[in-house]
Amino acid sequence: MSQILSKTDIEKEKLKILNKTELDEVDHAFDVNALRVLAARYLLRDSNNEIVESPKQMFERIAVLVAISDILHDERVFDISGAYVDYDQVGLDKDWIEPLDRSLTIGNYRLNIYHEEALWRLYKELKGSMKVSRNSLYHMIAKGEFDEYEMRIKEYYDLMISKDFLPNTPTLMNAGAKLGQLSACFVLPIEDDLHEIMKTATDAAMIFKSGGGIGINYSKLRPEGSIVASTSGVASGPLSFMKIIDAVTEVVKQGGKRRGANMAILNWDHPDIERFITAKTTPGEYENFNISVGTNEGFWEKGNENMLDMIARCAWQSAEPGVIFFDNINKFNPLLDKKGEITCTNPCGEQALYPYESCNLGSINLANFVKDGEFDWERFVDVIRICVQFLDNVIDVNKYPIKEIEEETKKTRRIGLGIMGLADVMFKLGIQYNSETGYEFMEDLGRILHINTRVESYELSRTRGKYPLSKNEEHPQRNSFLTTIAPTGTLSMIAGVSNGVEPCFALSFEKRVTVGSFFYVNQIFEQRLKDAGIYSEELIKKVVNNYGSCKGIAEIPGDIQKTFVTAMDIHYTDHIMAQSVWQKHIDNAIAKTINMPNDSTVEDVKQAYLMAHELGCKGMTVYRDGSRHQQVLHIHSDTKEKKFKVEPSTYVKSMRCNNCGSQLTTQEGCKYCPACGNSMCSN
Which residues are identified as catalytic?
346, 348, 350
Which residues make beta-bridge pairs with 511?
A: 518
Which residues make beta-bridge pairs with 417?
A: 362, 483
Q: Cα–Cα distance between 606 and 589 in angstroms, integer?
A: 21
Compute how many other C-beta atoms are within 10 angstroms of the C-beta atom of residue 206: 16
> Residue 231: which residues within 8 A CB-CB, separation 6 or more?
none
Pairing of the two strands 227-228 and 233-234: antiparallel
Q: Give the H/E segment covering residue 380.
A: helix 377-397
Q: Are the C-beta atoms of 348 and 487 separated by less than 8 Å?
A: yes
Q: Residue type for 177, please? A: A
Q: Strand (E) positions, 213-288?
A: 213-217, 227-228, 233-234, 253-254, 258-259, 262-267
Q: Are the C-beta atoms of 249 and 259 separated by less than 8 Å?
A: yes
Which residues make beta-bridge pairs with 566?
A: 504
The H helix count followed by the E strand count for the chain is: 27, 22
Q: Are the C-beta atoms of 275 and 230 separated by less than 8 Å?
A: no
Taken in order 159, 162, 168, 172, is the CA torsion positive or negative?
positive
CA distances from 602 to 179, 319, 398 (A): 45, 11, 45
Q: Residue type for 398, please? A: N
CA distances from 670 to 305, 479, 580, 665 (A): 13, 40, 21, 8
Q: Cα–Cα distance between 410 and 637 in angstroms, integer?
A: 51
- Tell me which residue of 573, 671, 610, 92 sits closest to 305, measured CA to CA: 610
Q: Encode 305-368 in three state secondary structure.
A: HHHHHHHHHHHHHHCCCEEEEHHHHHHCCCCHHHHCCCCCECCCCCCECCCCCEEEEEEEEHHH
Burial code (b: 16+ CB inside 10 Å, e: under 16) for 288-314 equals: bbbbbbbbbeebbeeebeebbebbbbb
Tell me, rounded to whole angstroms, the distance of Cα 378 from its chain centroid. Answer: 25
φ/ψ of 586, rounded to 5, equals -105, 120
| C-alpha radius of gyration, the chain, whole number | 26
Residues in the chain: 683
